Amino acid sequence: MSPSAAIVKVSVVRQFYALTKPRVIQLIVFCALIGMVLAVPGVPTWSEAWLALLACLGIWLVAGAAAAFNCIVEKGIDARMKRTAWRATASGELADWQTLLFSAVLCGAGCALLYYGVNPLTMWLTLATFIGYAVIYTVILKPLTPQNIVIGGASGAMPPVLGWAAMSGEVAPEALILFLIIFLWTPPHFWALALYRVEDYRKSGLPMLPVTHGNAFTRLMVWLYTLILFAACLMPYIYGMSSWLYLTATLLLNTGFCLYAYHLWRDYSDELARKTFRFSLLHLSLLFAALLLDHYFC
């Protein structure tokens, strides 16, 4: 293979990899892993660790397939938005059939791994999540209603449920509490992004809340959702899933998120919206990390 051909091959691999939205997938797998860990009392055995590894890989494959399928459906929208115009589907560097085949292979491999290597319940729940995100949210809800993020957030909140089902073979109340936390975290997280990217969304034609209801209303919704999220984040402690370590972390993290949202509501700037969005990512990651530490050390 000539050097130029090798460079082209590497470039294509990178393009396909980028379609899986790696940063998003990392957070999905991390949240699923937290569900797996919390479902197992004490330190997992080697067989449980192997099961968790297979489940993480299967969930990663199906989530990557959903992300790639999303890129096909939204290639026209992506081409009109500065932050997504670089995607190979939007720029035309990858044909639709190539991306669709890539998505199908990832989904098929992930479902087979989950069905035979983990358990059928996890496979069906993961496939339902794929359909919920790639079809119901992307194709139907996203272009239809400004509440797309709220309703579609159910798919994004599923990873801990998938992780719990992988290790226990059931969906327990604890898994549903974790689901609720991510479900309520999603709107203020995405609306903070939409506030400073509002012109991109206006050009795309998507009915995002800042476009349809304005900046002030969206800021108020971000603030109110962080208050509701604060209450939901106390549930693991109230239900007995965690102890003082998680409680301390959730009080600090949610106070921080609420303060960001309050200042965003009262004195808006694009820079503050960016900081709020970035803090929301830190908030969820550290919150689940606190649950993990609490599980083993308290």
Q: Cα(29)–Cα(35) distance, rounded to whole angstroms?
A: 10
Taking a C-beta distance cutoff of 8 angstroms, is the pair 291, 297 a contact?
no
Average pLDDT over residues 228-240: 96
CATH classification at residue 89: 1.10.357.140
Picking from 141, 170, 199, the residue at the C-terminal end of a domain is 170
Q: Which helix (H) or strand (E) holds 176?
A: helix 173-196
Q: Is residue 3 part of a domain?
A: no
- Among the candidates 118, 153, 170, a domain finishes at 170
Residue-number span of the structural domain to which 39 is assigned: 8-170
Q: What percent of the chain has pLDDT over 90?
A: 60
CA Rg value for the chain: 20
Name the nearest CA neighbour of 103 among 73, 132, 146, 79.
Answer: 73
Structure tokens at 260: 């960001």
pLDDT band for position 86 (50/70/90)?
A: low
Residue 179 within a domain: yes
How many angstroms separate the first and last alpha carbons of the chain? 56
Residues above pLDDT 70, as percent of the chain: 94
Q: How far apart are CA 96 and CA 228, in angstroms?
A: 41
- Are both 181 and 221 inside the same structural domain? yes
Q: Is residue 156 assigned to a domain?
A: yes
Tell whether 1 is covered by a domain.
no
pLDDT above 60 for 49? yes
Domain match, 65 and 91 both: yes
Indicate if 201 and 59 belong to the same structural domain: no
Q: Do residue 77 and residue 185 come from a single domain?
A: no
Number of separate domains in the chain: 2
Exposure string for 152-164, b = 16+ CB within 10 A, e = fewer: bbbbbbbbbbbbb
